[in-house]
Structures are given as structure tokens and as C-alpha cells.
């Protein structure tokens, strides 16, 4: 029985040509060898597992190869005496020191002593110091002199993952090469090569999942690959990978996005519950869902679809799902997910925090779906559709039962050329024109669109109120004055906490409590509504405790502002400016201004 050699060693690159993902560096080194312009000290920086030590060894072997002058390709011949001794690991011309385990001044002194001796065969002695940032200050000092004036036959290759820890005196004496993380595509194609030579049948999606998980480090990717092969044998599927690496199946996100599109709150909550039961963190889900919507957004344009690092058939799945969504709604959802992520750690009930966010994005265009009329609170209205769509104008799909046929044919998924097809241009032009059209003819009133909207927080607060009534919660009477004192004390934190807009909305008018302990807050745009939604439950809880009355409830009233159109968001302000000065639209077009928030 032959002994198993891990892939990271078995497939370690042995020539410049087989180094993965560092083409700039290998070709610079090859050119330097060819022109005999090789420096004597190098610093290889970059994350772990990207090929720094491999490149150092290849460089050592190549400069010592007897036949290098005849090599057209500047690659070691692997046949001469020197190459053979390198390949067998017996070469005396290479000296490796791991500064992580040997960082004392003695280690460096013995290295410095060796440097004086010329090589017996070959013409260069190469000293590789790995993790050089771990050397002690004394060791650095002992080394400095040698590094400054090395004997002609000596070459130093220092490698580090933490360049910022290297003292400037060392940096200035070395030629620095920055190794980058290896791209997912490069890792996938290397894994494909290895699968082929090991006769392993691996699904492209499985290899993509490994590559994504490796964070640009080939060594990590290969260890994971070995681990999964050990489990799955010679047929590797995506399920094998997610099971072994404990990843969240992408299908969950596709299903959640479908539930959101269908306004199916229970489906979304059940998916989330299933994920939690599998032992995944709730925040993991939110981040993953954010990434999913990011992929949907970039799938909408053939020019950006190649930015999704996944197998071609999954890209197609993203493209299909992205047709359900209007880009502005996706941005709205991304925004909500990002807020949820940011506030996750500080939330006391993290599960509820995520569930609320899910409910919020699932229900955000509830009313429009019900009435089938374009009157809605979500932001996409204000950007892409005028209130009454003209018969000929193509209106975004999201609010209709069936998506309109796509105007562009599906992009070619096997071609990753970003400039492929003229349709992408037409499409994005069209979108831009729609935005500009909306911009140049602003809707009459942002407030009017909010009319009749049921906010999720309203539903939640009402439910909380009902639940509370069932229990023996105190319902103490209080005066309007007492209420106002409690109210102002409760909202002061928004002023101090930098939420000035919210504070201003809440202090615009002193709220009046009615006989049923309800009070009203007037709002007139979606941003205000959103910010109140976020704070409402906490604010109510505080008031109820302060006034010892658990029936207190806040109702948001959307005022139909008949007075002048009042800009609130950046986009609103831009629209207003554009009406006064149409040149603003030209400016928007030219500098590709981002005004979506
Ligand atoms: Zn050779």
C-alpha cells in the first residue's frame, strides 16, 4: 500500500509555469534571470498559502540549474545534477530558516557564518527566511550587515505574511514582491486539473464552493479538497462539500428570495428556522442573504454577471431569479439586511431581530400587491416608475404578478467577456433613461404615496398590545403632561445618538394621547417611516414601563402633504434641483452620480 501524499505537497508547483495565480511575479523573476539582473535580496509578502515559499524554492532551483542559459523558457531543466539534488531535497545550496520557530539571535548567527562559504556546485547559495517578521530585534540587527553587503554567491529570500512588521532598514534593502490572493477561478481550474489527474469526478459547483471557502489560499483549498475526497471517494458533489465544510446551502437563499418575492412571510420564517436548527448562526444567514441579493443585483447586467464567482449553471439560476426583482427594490432589501447585520450584536433578542428584518423586507410592498395599484411606500416607486405609468413606458417588473419578458436575451454564461453583446448597453441605457425620466418629472407628492400603508411595526405593536392586554399588565391612568415628560425623556437619546432626523420627526408636534392610550406621529416619507419602524417597539416598551401602562400605542399617520413637495432623501433633493436646473440631469449622466439613498 503506497503512502498517501497530501495534494498540497503532491501538486506543489515545481516550475514557474506551474505556479498558480502569480503570473506577474513569475514573469518578472524569469525576466530578471534572463537579463542577469537578479537582485540579491528579496522580500516576498502576501497572505499564507499563496505560493511564496514555493516561488522561493523554484527561484533557488532555477538560478542554480546548469542548463538555464540554454532554456528558452527560463525554467529549470530538472535533469542536471543541481536540479536533481534540488528535487530530491538534498541540495546544499538552499538553506531554509523558519523564523517563527527559530527566531533567536543564535539561529541568525549560524546562518550568517554559513553565508561566507561559497557553494560547492552551482553558483548561488539561497537563504530562505520564512515568517521573517518573527525575528527578534537582536536577530534583525545581527542580520542587517550581511543583508547590506552579501557575498556575491549569496541570495536572500525573506517571506512574510505581515509586511507592516518589517523594519524599514530591511525593507529598503530588499526587492519587494507582493503576492496576491489567488482568484476563485484560478483555484477552481487548478482543482479541476488535480481532479482529472486523480480520476475524481467533481461537480463544478463543489469546486467553486471549496475555492470560495479557501479565501485565496491554494494550500487551504487543497487541504479541503483532500478532506472531502476522503469522505466522498472519487465522486464529489456540492452536498458533500457543504456537509464537510459546514456551509450553508445556497439553495436556502434562492428559496428565501422566492418567499420574499411572493410576500410569503411564513415560508421565509420557516426557512430561517430550519437554518437555525441546523446549527447555523442567524447573522451568518443575514450576511449570506445579503450576498445573494448582491448577486441578484449584478446578474441584472450582462456586463457585471461575471463578478459572481460560481459555476455557470448557478449564474444562470441567479439571472433567472434576478428578473423577478427591480434593481431599486434589491437595493432597498440590501439596505435593510445591512442594517440588520450592523445592529445584530447589540440586539438582545437576535432571533427576533433577524425575523423582523425578514418580515420587513417580505412585506415592504404589501399594499401595492393587494390593491394592484402603483401606490406604494417602497423606494423603487420614487426612482423608476412615475405614479401613473404611460401606456408605452416599460415599468419595472417587481410589482406585477408576472414579470415582463426580458428585453435582452440571456447572457452567454460560458463567455465571461464583460463587453459581450450590445444588449447590455441598451438595457442599462434604458434603465438610466427611466431614472432620468422620473427625475425630470418628479411625482407630485412623496407623501401621497404613503397613504394607506400598513407598517409592519404597526402590526407588531398591535399584536404586542393585544398580547399584553391578555396578561395582567398594569393600566395606570396618566395626564397628558406626565405623558409628554416621559415622551421627551424617551426620545432624547436619538438627539444624543446622532439620529437627528428621527428626533426632528418625533418632536415636530407634541403627540396627544386619546382615551384608548393611543397617540399619533405624523410622517410624510418612507425614510421617516423606516426609521420609526426600527425604533418603535423599543420606544413603546420604554413609555409603557415609565407610565406603568401597557396599552400605550404609537400610530404612524401618513400625512398627505398638499403643500409643496418636500425633499427628504438625497434622490428627492436631486429631483428638486433638477426641476430648477435641468443641467443637473446632464451632470448626473456625465459623472454617473450615485443618488440612490
Ligand atoms: Zn537543471
Least confident of 324-338, 394-408, 441-455, 559-573: 441-455
Cα 511 to ligand 1 centroid, rounded to whole Å = 87
Asked if residue 571 belongs to a domain, the reply is no
Q: Which whole number is the average pLDDT over 191-210?
A: 93
Q: Give me the pLDDT at residue 253, please.
A: 95
Where does the pLDDT of residue 2 fall: very low under 50, low under 70, confident under 90, or very high at 90 and above?
low
Q: How far apart are CA 234 and CA 25, in angstroms?
A: 35
Q: Are 224 and 258 contained in the same domain?
A: no
Give the C-alpha separation, 282 to 316, whole Å: 27
- Domain membership flag for residue 572: no
Give, as one character, the DSSP assignment of residue 95.
Answer: E
pLDDT score of 54: 92
Indicate if the pLDDT at residue 564 is higher than 60.
no
CATH number at residue 406: 1.20.272.10
Whether residues 287 and 200 share a domain: the answer is no
pLDDT (tens digit, 9 = 90+) per residue, 51-110?
Answer: 999 999 999 999 999 888 888 888 999 999 989 998 888 888 888 888 888 777 888 888
Strand order in the sheet with 94-98: 94-98, 125-130, 154-160, 41-45, 175-178
CA–centroid distance, residue 66 to ligand 1 (Å) = 5
Ligand 1 centroid distance, CA of 64 (Å): 7
- What's the CA-to-centroid distance between 30 and ligand 1, angstroms? 15
Q: How far is the CA of 192 from the centre of ligand 1 (A)?
A: 29
The rounded distance, in Å, linking the Cα atoms of 133 and 272 is 44
Distance between CA atoms of residues 574 and 593, nearest Å: 10
Q: Which of 132, 155, 178 is the last residue before a domain boundary?
A: 178
For residue 454, give the DSSP letter: P
Inside any domain, residue 206:
yes
Are 519 and 555 in contact by the 8 Å Cβ rule? The answer is: yes
Q: What are the distances in angstroms from CA 557 to CA 519, 526, 542?
A: 10, 12, 21
The rounded Å distance from CA 41 to ligand 1 centre is 22
* Res. 171: pLDDT tops 70: yes
Average pLDDT over residues 474-500: 83
Same domain? 27 vs 165? yes
CA 53 – ligand 1 centroid, Å? 19
Q: Is pLDDT above 70 for 177?
A: yes
Taking a C-beta distance cutoff of 8 angstroms, is the pair 363, 268 a contact? no
Query: From the CA of 122, how far away is ligand 1's center (Å)?
Result: 10
The average pLDDT across 294-303 equals 91
Residue 207: predicted pLDDT = 95
Beta strands in 104-247 (DSSP E): 125-130, 154-160, 175-178, 201-202, 235-236
pLDDT (0 to 100) of residue 22: 92
Distance 331 CA to ligand 1 centre (A): 57
The verdict on residue 583 lying in a domain is no
Please indicate, yes or no, if residue 576 is contained in any of the structural domains: no
Does the residue 581 lie in any domain? no
Q: Which three cell numbers stand for residue 39?
A: 537582485
Same-domain check for residues 277 and 194: no
> 19 C-alpha to center of ligand 1: Å?
18
**Smallest Cα–Cα separation from 268: which of 276, 258, 277?**
258
- CA-to-CA distance for 333 and 136, rounded, in angstroms? 51
- Tallying the residues shown for the chain, one arrives at 597
pLDDT at 560: 58
Residues 128 and 254 in one domain: no
By C-alpha distance, which of 344, 378, 349 is closest to 362? 378
| Long-range contacts of the stretch 583-587 (C-beta < 8 A, 24+) | 585/436, 585/439, 585/440
* Predicted confidence (pLDDT) at residue 228 exceeds the cutoff of 50: yes
The answer to whether 145 touches 179, Cβ cutoff 8 Å, is no
- Residues 188 and 173 occupy one common structural domain: no
pLDDT at 466: 52
Quote the ligand 1 centre to 548 CA distance (angstroms): 87
**pLDDT value for 167:** 86
The pair phi, psi for residue 232, each rounded to 5°, is -95, -10
Q: Give per-residue pLDDT as tens, 122-151.
A: 788 999 999 999 888 888 888 888 888 889
Same domain for 239 and 350, yes or no, is: no
Q: Give a yes or no: residue 463 inside a domain.
A: yes
Comparison of pLDDT for 308 and 449, the residue scoring more = 308
The region that residue 165 occupies, defined by phi over 0 for left and psi between -120 and 50 for alpha, beta otherwise, is alpha
Would you state the cell numbers that stand for residue 75, as one nine-digit string? 525554467
Closest by CA to 174, choosing from 191, 198, 156, 153, is 156
- 83 CA → ligand 1 middle, Å: 4
- Decide if 111 contacts 95 (C-beta within 8 A): yes
Instruction: Name the DSSP class of 68.
Output: G
> pLDDT above 90 covers what percent of the chain?
33
Distance of CA 68 to the CA centre of its chain: 45
Distance CA 383, CA 387 (A): 10
- Quick: pLDDT tens for 416-455: 444 443 444 444 445 444 444 433 333 333 333 333 344 4
Instruction: Say what the pLDDT of residue 69 is.
Output: 80
Ligand 1 centroid–CA 80 distance in Å is 4
Distance from residue 304's CA to the centre of ligand 1 (Å)? 45
pLDDT at 357 (0 to 100): 93
283 and 431 together in one domain: yes
Cα(479)–Cα(481) distance, rounded to whole angstroms?
5
> For 23-38, what is each residue's pLDDT tens digit?
999 999 999 998 888 9
Average pLDDT for 169-193? 92
Residue 596 has what pLDDT? Answer: 61
Q: What is the chain's mean pLDDT, rounded?
A: 79
Distance 67 CA to ligand 1 centre (A): 5
**Cα 75 to ligand 1 centre (Å):** 8
Q: Which of 517, 303, 316, 312 is nearest to 431 (CA)?
A: 303
Residue of 229, 169, 312, 160 whose CA lies nearest to 7: 229
User: What pLDDT was estimated at residue 93?
Assistant: 87
**CA 276 to ligand 1 centroid distance, Å:** 57
pLDDT reading at 192 higher than 80: yes
Is residue 242 within 8 A of residue 231, CB to CB? The reply is no
Residue 58 CA to ligand 1 centre (angstroms): 11
Using the CB atoms, write b or e for 266-276: b if 16+ within 10 Å. Answer: ebbbebbeebe
CA of 84 relative to ligand 1 center, distance in Å: 7
Which pLDDT belongs to residue 19? 92
Residues 143 and 264 in one domain: no
262 lies in the same domain as 136: no
CATH number at residue 238: 1.10.8.60
Q: Which domain holds residue 22?
A: 7-178
Whole-number Å distance, alpha carbon 85 to ligand 1 midpoint, is: 10
Compute, in angstroms, the gap from residue 549 CA to the centroid of ligand 1: 87
561 pLDDT band (50/70/90 cuts)?
low
Is 70 exceeded by the pLDDT of residue 481? Answer: yes
Same domain, residue pair 260 and 220: no
Under the banding of pLDDT at 50, 70 and 90, the label for residue 406 is very low
DSSP string, 232-249: HTTEE-HHHHHHHHTPPP
Domain termination residue (choose one: 413, 439, 465): 439
Q: Give the Å distance between the CA of 410 and the centre of ligand 1.
A: 51
pLDDT at 505 exceeding the cut of 80:
yes
Q: Determine the distance separating the centroid of ligand 1 and the alpha carbon of 76, expressed in angstroms.
A: 5
Same domain, 294 and 161: no
In a domain, 273, yes or no: yes
Of 16-25, 101-110, 372-381, the one with minimum mean pLDDT is 372-381
Residue range 355-365, pLDDT digits in tens: 999 999 998 76
Q: How confident is the model at residue 588 (pLDDT cuts 50, 70, 90)?
A: confident
Q: How confident is the model at residue 395 (pLDDT cuts 50, 70, 90)?
A: very low
From the CA of 119, how far away is ligand 1's center (Å)? Answer: 16
Number of domains forming the structure of the chain: 4
- Compute the distance from residue 94 Cα to the ligand 1 centre, in Å: 15
Q: Which DSSP letter does residue 309 get?
A: -
To the question of pTM greater than 0.85 for the whole model, the response is: no
What local confidence, expressed as pLDDT, does residue 180 receive? 92
Q: What is the per-residue pLDDT for 433?
A: 46
Provide, rounded to the nearest whole percent, the portion of the chain with pLDDT above 70. Answer: 79
* Chain-centroid distance, C-alpha 63: 41
Higher-pLDDT residue of 410, 250: 250
Give the DSSP H/E element, type plus range, for residue 467: helix 456-470
Q: How far is the CA of 23 from the centre of ligand 1 (A)?
A: 22
Question: Nine-digit cell at 383?
Answer: 426612482
Domain's final residue, options 178, 207, 236:
178
Does residue 369 contact residue 399 with C-beta atoms inside 8 Å? yes
Q: What integer pLDDT is reported at residue 456 of this predicted model?
A: 47
CATH number at 90 reads 3.40.50.300
Amino acid at each position: 500500500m503506497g503512502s498517501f501524499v497530501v495534494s498540497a505537497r503532491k501538486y506543489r508547483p515545481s516550475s514557474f509555469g506551474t505556479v498558480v495565480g502569480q503570473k506577474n511575479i513569475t514573469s518578472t523573476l524569469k525576466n530578471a534571470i534572463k537579463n542577469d539582473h537578479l537582485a540579491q535580496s528579496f522580500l516576498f509578502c502576501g497572505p499564507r498559502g499563496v505560493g511564496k515559499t514555493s516561488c522561493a524554492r523554484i527561484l533557488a532551483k532555477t538560478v542554480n540549474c546548469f542548463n538555464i542559459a540554454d532554456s528558452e523558457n527560463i525554467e529549470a531543466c530538472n535533469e542536471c545534477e543541481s536540479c536533481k539534488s534540488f528535487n530530491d531535497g538534498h541540495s546544499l545550496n538552499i538553506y531554509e530558516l523558519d523564523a517563527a520557530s527559530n527566531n533567536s539571535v543564535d539561529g541568525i548567527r549560524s546562518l550568517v557564518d554559513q553565508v561566507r562559504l561559497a557553494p560547492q556546485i552551482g553558483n548561488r547559495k539561497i537563504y530562505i527566511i520564512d515568517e521573517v517578521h518573527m525575528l527578534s530585534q537582536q536577530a534583525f540587527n545581527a542580520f542587517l550587515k550581511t543583508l547590506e553587503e552579501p557575498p556575491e554567491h549569496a541570495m536572500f529570500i525573506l517571506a512574510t505574511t505581515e509586511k507592516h512588521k518589517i523594519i524599514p532598514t530591511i525593507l529598503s534593502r530588499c526587492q519587494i514582491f507582493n503576492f496576491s490572493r489567488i482568484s476563485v477561478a484560478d483555484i477552481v481550474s487548478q482543482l479541476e486539473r488535480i481532479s482529472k489527474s486523480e480520476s475524481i469526478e467533481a461537480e463544478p459547483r463543489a469546486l467553486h464552493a471549496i475555492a470560495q471557502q479557501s479565501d485565496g489560499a491554494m494550500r487551504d483549498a487543497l487541504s479541503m479538497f483532500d478532506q472531502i475526497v476522503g469522505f466522498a471517494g472519487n465522486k464529489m458533489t456540492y452536498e458533500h462539500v457543504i456537509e464537510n465544510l459546514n456551509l450553508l446551502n445556497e439553495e436556502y437563499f434562492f428559496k428565501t428570495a422566492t418567499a420574499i418575492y411572493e410576500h410569503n412571510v411564513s415560508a421565509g420564517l420557516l426557512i430561517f428556522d430550519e437554518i437555525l436548527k441546523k446549527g447555523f448562526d442567524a447573522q451568518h444567514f443575514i450576511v449570506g442573504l445579503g450576498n445573494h441579493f448582491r448577486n441578484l443585483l449584478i446578474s441584472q447586467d450582462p456586463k457585471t454577471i461575471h463578478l459572481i464567482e460560481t459555476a455557470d449553471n448557478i449564474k444562470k439560476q441567479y439571472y433567472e431569479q434576478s428578473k423577478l426583482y427591480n434593481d431599486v427594490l434589491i437595493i432597498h432589501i440590501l439596505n435593510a439586511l445591512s442594517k440588520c447585520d450592523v445592529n445584530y450584536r447589540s440586539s438582545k433578542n437576535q432571533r427576533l431581530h433577524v425575523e423582523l428584518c425578514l418580515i420587513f423586507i417580505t412585506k415592504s410592498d404589501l399594499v401595492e400587491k393587494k390593491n394592484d395599484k402603483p401606490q406604494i411606500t417602497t423606494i423603487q416607486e420614487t426612482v423608476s416608475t412615475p405614479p401613473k405609468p404611460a401606456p408605452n413606458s416599460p415599468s419595472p417588473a417587481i410589482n406585477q404578478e408576472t414579470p415582463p419578458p426580458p428585453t435582452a436575451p440571456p447572457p452567454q454564461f460560458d463567455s465571461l467577456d464583460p463587453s459581450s453583446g450590445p444588449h447590455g448597453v441598451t438595457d442599462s441605457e434604458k434603465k438610466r433613461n427611466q431614472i432620468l425620466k422620473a427625475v425630470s418629472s418628479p411625482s407630485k407628492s412623496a407623501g401621497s404615496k404613503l397613504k394607506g400603508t400598513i407598517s409592519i411595526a404597526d402590526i407588531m405593536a398591535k399584536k404586542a398590545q393585544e398580547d399584553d392586554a391578555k396578561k395582567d399588565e398594569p393600566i395606570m391612568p396618566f395626564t397628558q403632561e406626565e405623558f409628554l415628560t416621559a415622551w421627551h425623556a424617551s426620545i432624547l437619546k436619538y438627539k444624543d445618538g446622532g439620529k437627528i432626523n428621527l428626533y426632528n420627526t418625533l418632536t415636530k408636534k407634541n403627540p396627544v394621547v386619546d382615551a384608548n392610550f393611543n397617540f399619533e406621529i405624523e410622517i410624510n416619507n418612507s425614510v421617516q417611516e423606516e426609521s420609526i419602524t426600527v425604533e418603535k417597539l423599543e420606544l413603546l416598551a420604554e413609555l409603557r414601563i415609565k407610565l406603568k401602562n401597557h396599552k400605550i400605542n404609537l400610530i404612524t399617520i401618513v400625512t398627505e402633504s398638499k403643500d409643496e413637495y418636500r425633499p427628504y432623501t438625497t434622490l428627492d433633493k436631486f429631483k428638486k434641483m433638477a426641476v430648477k436646473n435641468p443641467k443637473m440631469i446632464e451632470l448626473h449622466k456625465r459623472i454617473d452620480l450615485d443618488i440612490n439613498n
